[in-house]
Amino acid sequence: MSAPGSTNLGSSVGYSQSPTPNGGAAPPRQNGPAQTYPSVYPPTGYYGAPPQQQSYPTTHAHSNAGPNKAPITNSAHSANYYQNNHHHHPHQHHQHQPHLPQHHVTPSPYSAPPSSAPPSQPYATLPSSAPPPPSNAQYNPQQPVQQQQHPPYATPGSYYGQQHSYHAPAAQRPQQQKHPSLVPVPAGGPGAPLHPIVSYPSALGSSQYGTLSSLQSAPAHGVMPTQVGAPLHQYNAPQPAGPTTTPVQAGGYGVGPSGQMAPTVNGQGSTGQTTVHQHYDQSHQALQSYNSYHGGVTHPHRAGGADADRPPSRTPSTSVHSSPGHHQGMQYGYVANSGASSASATTSGPAAANPSSSSSEDGDDDDEEEEEDEDEEAGGDTSSSTTGSASPVPNSYDSLEGGNYPDSLPPSDDMTNQAQPYGSYGYPASMQPAYPQGPTSHTDSSPAHDPYGPPPSYQQFSQPFPNMSQLSAALGGLSGVPELEVEALRPVNLLQERNLLPPRPLEAPEPNLSPDLKKVNCSPQTFRCTLTSIPQTQALLNKARLPLGLLLHPFRDLQQLPVITSNTIVRCRSCRTYINPFVTFLDQRRWKCNLCYRVNDVPDEFMYNPVTRSYGEPHKRPEVQNATVEFIASSDYMLRPPQPSVYLFVLDVSHNAVEAGYLKYFCESLLDNLDKLPGDTRTRVGFLTFDSTIHFYNLQEGLSQPQMLVVSDIDDVFIPSHDSLMVNLKESAELVKDLLTSLPAMFSQTRETHSALGPALQAAFKLMSPTGGRVTVFQTQLPTLGAGMLKSREDPNQRSSTKGVQHLGPATDFYKKLALDCSGQQIGVDLFLLSSQYADLASLACMSKYSAGSIFYYPSFHHTHNPTQLEKFQKDLERYLTRKIGFEAVMRIRCTKGLSIHTFHGNFFVRSTDLLSLANVNPDSAFAVQMSIEDSLADSSLACFQAALLYTSNKGKRRIRVHTLCLPVVNQLSDVYAGADVQAITCLLANMAIDRSITSGLSDARDALVNAVVDLVSSYKSNVSNLQQSGLVVPASMRLFPLYILALLKQKALRTGTSTRLDERVFAMCEFKTQPLQQLMQMVHPDLYRLDNMSDQGALHLNDTVVPQPHLLHLAADRLSRDGAFLMDCGNVFYLWIGKCCNDMFIRDVLGCPDYASVPPNMSHIPELETLLSERVRAFLDWLQDNRAFSSTIHVVKDDASAQATFFQHLVEDRSESASSYSEFLQNVQLQK
């Protein structure tokens, strides 16, 4: 798909013409979409019959045939069978011709599923018992609902148009139904219902628009009563609401007004769910919509209109508007895709020619979008994107601004006339105008359901600085030193103070902000900065010798999240920052961006506050009251209709896999959680197994049992059938269950030891690329066949080498390329590696790293020999299958002018300077970025960071989650130290060390970590502490830093000298990159508690349980005592260490064993006993696990057991065979400084 040579030439010409636009600041952003966007919503009915014929002139005649077409001959069938993802290129036929005999004559490959088919039938046949009429009956009622729900599918189509594969299903069906028994099926339905996948309703002939609009109201009220805010709850509940019935889901997500219903539901106490949502809904259209919001009454017209997600035909700005005429032209362009430049020329043409329709869409289009757009198009016609974009830019920019902010001045005027006075940002002066209105408006009404009271930003800037302390706080500690800071700066001599740990786990330091800003600031669990006081200049930062960076956990499960539905999402016009609590309202009509300091207009709609139902209080809007908000995005934020949830499971079924026995547990788990898979009625699933060949499963509804299709040509993988491999979960549920029940037995006798993972992944990519979605790969050994095969690189003798470790990087770029392809098609690849042997995770991990997937690794997994791994696998799998998921996501991190992000850590692809492309986003992965200070921040007292995550929810809604963090800027080194966040710094350094160890070796990375401590100590000594103390002195805020660094050096990822398997090391590295801070810190420096003498002193009382709060202990063996019981919390695992002389009462009451000797060696659960102590212990354990995504396993470790080694390796302060103890480490640091 990469651009051919000729495109390059073209592009170079384009570039040489366009150097001037480069200089402009804003245009680049606008560029991408201007020319590409139209192509995104091009053709009228992709599924409609007439357009189809037009748009695929190259396909075979029978491809165009509707499902009702006459039966097709056998020869045609075979031709089509081999048609793969692309067009029917003649040569493709040739390529596949050789396999013909194999597939058609030899029955064996196809008859694998037990009792599947008569051997003479190459395809395992459709049984005559399949009842076509019922299936139709099922479809018919659903059809309208679907159409109403997802009009985008009916309209734009280009989404699938890109693929060229979707017409194939229609064509293929008749062929597959060559069986006499099936002939009635096509006859029965009116075309569309036949289509197996409801989510792509083949639009009924020509009248899809008609269908759409006419259906709009009907399904809406049919569904309304049942929806009950389901979407909202499902979004954020820890687990998707499983038991909701189909109609509920269908209604909830399909129907626009759901948002409006929500508040009412919330008011009623949210029906037992813990999640509480404030749902602010606002519509530009009429005030009555506000009434409806509060009254819970839904006006019919809003069903279609309010939710921009579903472009109704009546809203002018949505995709439906686009005139079919030029879209068809574009579709031709698509079909002729091979000629990339010609296609794109066509594409860009309409954009320029038709600015009123398409570019106004681009207008408020998000830049994230544009990038996405660009990337998707990039495959074929990258060069033209630049060429074409140059001219339309200015137009679209203007027009879009005009469209977006109807009453605003032209941007240029704004910039020159208004921005300048405030450019200096002397805000006391510029604030003055705001005064007259300010105080009155913010004091009078303090809404009851406004959690944060007065509007912080407004207040801060508009109040006349009542007293000195508030001023100093607001200015971020420029003057005056609060008490907290004094404590944080207290010099600590590490050689003397031994009890450094706080009694309770360390909390994130609070930024030194005014109380109002503190109140609205983003939660440290979501957004954390290594320095909570940002140094003013890079020089100051260098002096501090601490890394500056952010740690984000943007998609984490939230208990409370304001969801905002609004026609216009208010954003800064120049930097596209979303309005947030830290902006300044200059007066009622203007706000000043806190990132680029541009003055923007407040749109009319924003003047109305849905919370207080009052007009003229823009500063009280939920967007301005919460640092974390979620917007329901309009169609402007879509490049294509939101995709359905699509899950493909790629399962290793080689001998090794069967031996390990994971398949049975996977199938069980999936069967249990099938209903809980996040998704709606459009959800699709597919399965693919592989050993040395690739097996597809036809699960099309109507079959009596799943058919297996075997493709043994792994050098040139093709998809044997297009429509029936990824099936709608609702419709084919029975078949899916069938398959899952029979799958484990199917391969139990296999002798095949090879693994063709690469080709299987290629097949998965082809299968998924029309839609995007999630691919889950289960692999149990080194891939040995086909593309992407790997060789063992690990030398077991080098496992404990103290010198560098080799092969931390990938051996081939196959997986990286594949991941980037996947990322481009919005496919996320998650890897479960269950291998007992070396499987080269360093190479395999690339498939997940760059497609924003997650990686799970179970070393030495065996279903009987390793029950703990099995238990962990099952628990992880359950969480994995049921956790929230966001599709086709992009995240952009913006920061205050002067700061710039230069390095990213985590699983994603950095598509452009600050844009992360995340094919899938899951609530368990975190990201980190490093920043530098490019310009002095002297003219502002606050630095802000905003992460905006645009994603498609599993209900097919486009949503934007915005987090904003605000931190003070300081110019004193002592303030920088006072605000240092030692945990965040440790995590960021860990990420940096991982990078370093891959690029320049492990020992280099370890040295760098030690140097970080040495640097800190020497810098602090020379710059801040004026005490002439000997020894190691660090500020109190950083007193744990050396300890954490030592702990890092003893982690699997970075340790040397201790025998560590390469895969385990690489996996630990991957975890460092993706784990959220809390988990990571728990892994690096576990919490140790003594349990046998817990008291209720200081215990928490939650509901009716008492949760004791034992003190943290240092991780040293001398803190343990023989007569105690200690709990070590390592994040994903608990160790309960029982001393030899532990009192019997504890053992009896908590473990249920009479004495120490009778405690079984591999105990891995705490029995539920009725004793007080047991209750306390279990309450404490539950409390510790409360907010964890993956439930932790517990191991009871006896003093004498050999399992002790795993426990003792976590005692990081002790000397181990190859690493120094804490005091030795400190001495070493002192020597070096």
Partner 1 sequence: MEAAVFILSLVDCCALIFLSVYFIITLSDLECDYINARACCSKLNKWVIPEMIGQCLSTMLMLVSMHWFIFLLNLPVSAWNIYRHVKVPMGNMGVFDPTEIHNRGQLKSHMKEAMIKLGYHLLCFFIYLYSMILALIND
Q: Which residues bind partner 1 (CB under 8 A)?
A: 2-3, 5, 8, 11-12, 15-16, 19, 22, 28-29, 31-32, 371, 374-375, 378, 382-383, 385-386, 389, 809-813, 816-817, 820, 824, 842-843, 846, 849-850, 902-904, 909-913, 915, 995, 999
The residue with tokens 């979407």 is 231
**Backbone dihedral angles phi then psi of residue 831, each to the nearest 5 degrees:** -115, 125
In this complex, which beta carbon is closest to partner 1, that of residue 793 or of residue 1233?
793
Q: Which residues contact 7 (CB under 8 A, 6 or more apart)?
A: 340, 341, 381, 382, 383, 384
Sheet arrangement for strand 549-552? 527-529, 549-552, 927-933, 899-905
Whole-number minimum distance, CB 348 to partner 1, in Å? 14
List the Cα angle 1034/1040/1043 in 5-degree steps: 110
Token output for 256: 């626009």
Whole-number minimum distance, CB 40 to partner 1, in Å? 16
In this complex, which beta carbon is closest to partner 1, that of residue 290 or of residue 850?
850
DSSP letter for 1085, please.
S
The residue with tokens 């082809």 is 766
Whole-number minimum distance, CB 948 to partner 1, in Å? 16
Whole-number minimum distance, CB 863 to partner 1, in Å? 33
In this complex, which beta carbon is closest to partner 1, that of residue 8 or of residue 356?
8
Helix residue ranges per DSSP H, 268-366: 288-295, 300-305, 324-335, 340-353, 360-364
In this complex, which beta carbon is closest to partner 1, that of residue 462 or of residue 823?
823
In this complex, which beta carbon is closest to partner 1, that of residue 371 or of residue 1092?
371
Helix (H) / strand (E) element for 246: namely helix 246-254
In this complex, which beta carbon is closest to partner 1, that of residue 814 or of residue 1020?
814
In this complex, which beta carbon is closest to partner 1, that of residue 32 or of residue 744?
32
Whole-number minimum distance, CB 64 to partner 1, in Å? 33
In this complex, which beta carbon is closest to partner 1, that of residue 868 or of residue 912?
912
Residues 772 and 768: their CA atoms lie apart, in Å, by 5
Q: With CA atoms as reference, report the closest residue to 663 among 725, 740, 754, 726.
A: 740
**Backbone dihedral angles phi then psi of residue 751, each to the nearest 5 degrees:** -115, 0
In this complex, which beta carbon is closest to partner 1, that of residue 48 or of residue 810?
810
Measured over all CA atoms, what is the biggest interatomic distance in the chain, rounded to whole angstroms? 96
Whole-number minimum distance, CB 344 to partner 1, in Å? 12
In 56-141, beta strands by DSSP E: none
In this complex, which beta carbon is closest to partner 1, that of residue 281 or of residue 374?
374
Written as one letter, the residue type at 734 is E
DSSP three-state, residue 240:
coil
Residues 82 and 319: their CA atoms lie apart, in Å, by 35
Radius of gyration of the chain (CA): 31
Q: Which residues contact 1007 (CB under 8 A, 6 or more apart)?
A: none
Whole-number minimum distance, CB 36 to partner 1, in Å? 12
Q: How many residues does the chain have?
A: 1233
Whole-number minimum distance, CB 22 to partner 1, in Å? 5
Residues 265 and 233: their CA atoms lie apart, in Å, by 10
C-alpha torsion 243→244→245→246, nearest 10: -120
In this complex, which beta carbon is closest to partner 1, that of residue 640 or of residue 849?
849
DSSP three-state, residue 805:
coil
In this complex, which beta carbon is closest to partner 1, that of residue 995 or of residue 1175?
995
Q: Which long-range contacts (CB under 8 A, 24 or more apart) does 264-273 make?
A: 264/229, 264/295, 264/296, 265/228, 265/229, 265/232, 266/229, 266/232, 270/229, 270/233, 271/228, 271/233, 273/233, 273/237, 273/241
Whole-number minimum distance, CB 24 to partner 1, in Å? 9
Whole-number minimum distance, CB 639 to partner 1, in Å? 14
List the Cα angle 907/912/917 in 5-degree steps: 35
Whole-number minimum distance, CB 5 to partner 1, in Å? 8
Whole-number minimum distance, CB 1149 to partner 1, in Å? 54
DSSP three-state, residue 378:
helix
In this complex, which beta carbon is closest to partner 1, that of residue 754 or of residue 816?
816
Half-sphere exposure of 606 (CA within 13 A, CB side): 26
Going by DSSP bridges, is the β-strand pair 1133-1138/1193-1198 parallel, antiparallel, or unpaired? parallel
In this complex, which beta carbon is closest to partner 1, that of residue 381 or of residue 723?
381
In this complex, which beta carbon is closest to partner 1, that of residue 850 or of residue 1134?
850
What number of other Cβ atoms are within 10 A of residue 1031's Cβ?
14
Token output for 17: 């013409």
In this complex, which beta carbon is closest to partner 1, that of residue 368 or of residue 623?
368
In this complex, which beta carbon is closest to partner 1, that of residue 462 or of residue 917?
917
Whole-number minimum distance, CB 30 to partner 1, in Å? 10
Whole-number minimum distance, CB 572 to partner 1, in Å? 17
Whole-number minimum distance, CB 1147 to partner 1, in Å? 51
In this complex, which beta carbon is closest to partner 1, that of residue 130 or of residue 844?
844
Token output for 514: 């005014």
Token output for 750: 């296999």
What number of other Cβ atoms are within 10 A of residue 652's Cβ?
28
Residues 598 and 575: their CA atoms lie apart, in Å, by 8
**Backbone dihedral angles phi then psi of residue 894, each to the nearest 5 degrees:** -115, 145
Residues 243 and 248: their CA atoms lie apart, in Å, by 10
DSSP three-state, residue 839:
coil
Whole-number minimum distance, CB 991 to partner 1, in Å? 11
Angle between helices 1077-1084 and 1062-1074 (to 10 degrees): 140
Residues 951 and 949: their CA atoms lie apart, in Å, by 6
Whole-number minimum distance, CB 820 to partner 1, in Å? 6
Whole-number minimum distance, CB 642 to partner 1, in Å? 22
